[in-house]
């Protein structure tokens, strides 16, 4: 399993943590090939804004590929290196 560099994780978490209600801020994601999917429970917060999605895409040097709700969680997909 591949992980993001710690510095990149910290930059992304700084953007998305304001959408989480929990005291412990988490960055849950899965990297497959050139795509990364971030997971956030619906009950844990609110949906991220388009502006902040673009900021995350910029950090990943990629593009926002879409969002869906599956099993009570938000899934935000990004293409990396695009």
CATH number of the domain where residue 63 is located: 3.30.1360
User: pTM of the prediction?
Assistant: 0.85
**Does the residue 76 lie in any domain?**
yes
> How confident is residue 24, by pLDDT bands cut at 50, 70 and 90?
low
CA distance 45 to 63: 23
Mean per-residue pLDDT, 21-40: 85
Quickly list H helices, 1-82: 6-16, 50-59
pLDDT of residue 62 exceeding 90: yes
**Does the residue 72 lie in any domain?**
yes
């Amino acid at each position: 399993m591949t992980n993001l560099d710690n510095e990149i994780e910290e930059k992304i978490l700084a953007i998305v943590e304001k959408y989480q209600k929990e005291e412990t801020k988490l960055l849950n994601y899965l990297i497959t090939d050139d795509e990364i999917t971030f997971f956030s429970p619906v009950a844990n917060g609110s949906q991220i804004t388009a502006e902040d999605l673009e900021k995350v895409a910029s950090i990943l040097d990629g593009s926002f590929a879409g969002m869906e709700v599956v099993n009570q969680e938000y899934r935000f997909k990004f293409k990396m290196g695009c």
